[in-house]
Amino acid sequence: MLPEKMRGIIEEHRFSLELQALIPNAKRADEFIDGAKWVLSRNPTKGRRISSSHVWFLPMEDAPGLLPVVLYYTFDDDFVNFLSIQETVYPPKD
């Protein structure tokens, strides 16, 4: 069995600003997105594609004090680009 190909994670400037606004404590913010990084670097199709676009989203479990959160990203063979992270009143249903 071949090992999983891991993609690098790129946090776009907008994503970084939005994450900092949601969770000002840098260590807590890193801990919050570590799971998404682990999953998406190994299998970016774990999220859901937005129609026929190249943008995907991953609903994330809410942390205390946050509404449900959705992470928007794109990917290619080598990288996953975290584009945006938004609180949402209406989380996507499974």
Give me the pLDDT at residue 89, please: 74
Q: What is the pTM of this model?
A: 0.86
Query: 37 or 90: whose pLDDT is higher?
Result: 37
Summarised one tens digit per residue, pLDDT across range 56-79 is 999 887 666 667 889 999 999 999
The domain covering 8-86 belongs, at the CATH homologous superfamily level, to RelE-like (3.30.2310.20)
Average pLDDT over residues 2-19: 89
Could you give the CA distance from residue 58 to residue 93 in angstroms, rounded to a whole number? 11
Mean pLDDT, the chain, rounded, equals 88
H or E stretch covering 13? helix 13-22
9 versus 91: the higher-pLDDT residue is: 9
Tokens matching residue 21: 């606004």
The residue ranking higher by pLDDT, 74 or 32, is: 74
